[in-house]
Structure 1
Amino acid sequence: MATIKIKQVRSAIGRTKTQKRTLEALGFKKLHQVVEHEATPAILGMVATVKHLVEVQK
């Protein structure tokens, strides 16, 4: 399966608890951090939940 790189581009301050937990589950600890995951349906669903806070890189 393909891998995707995800970069956090907006802060989690002032976001809902669900969105903050989703960012933590994706492995983000800092702003502008890049994490790499397999492109599974679960990961893609999490990315869709916080699509306004992250950027998918190729």
Structure 2
Amino acid sequence: MSKIRITQVRSMIGRPGDQKRTLAALGLGKINRSVEINVNPALEGMIRKVDHLVKIEEI
């Protein structure tokens, strides 16, 4: 599995509840907060759901 860094770049204010819960499950919630995770199919789906709110970098 590859490792990626996800950084939140847009606010979750005004977003649907499912997107807010997805960001919280990824460990995000504030702008410029980053997490490093190992990618698996479940996390790929979560990232795809909020890809307009985050920046993704391969490590």
Give the TM-score, by structure 2 length: 0.92
AA partner of residue 16 (structure 2): T
RMSD: 0.8
Report if aligned partners of 2:8, 2:29 keep a CA contact under 8 Å in 1: no
Aligned-partner Cα distance in 2 for 1:36–1:56: 10
Q: How far off is 1:2 after superposition?
A: 1.2
Aligned-partner Cα distance in 1 for 2:44–2:32: 19
Residue of structure 2 in register with 1:33 after alignment: 33
| SS of aligned partner of 1:7 | strand
1:36-56 deviation per Cα after TM superposition (whole angstroms, max 9, x unaligned):
111100111000000100010
Q: Number of residue pairs matched?
A: 58
Residue of structure 2 in register with 1:2 after alignment: 2
Aligned-partner Cα distance in 2 for 1:29–1:14: 13
Aligned-partner Cα distance in 2 for 1:2–1:57: 11
Structure 1: unaligned runs, 5 residues or longer: none
Give the TM-score, by structure 1 length: 0.94
Percentage of matched positions with identical amino acids: 50
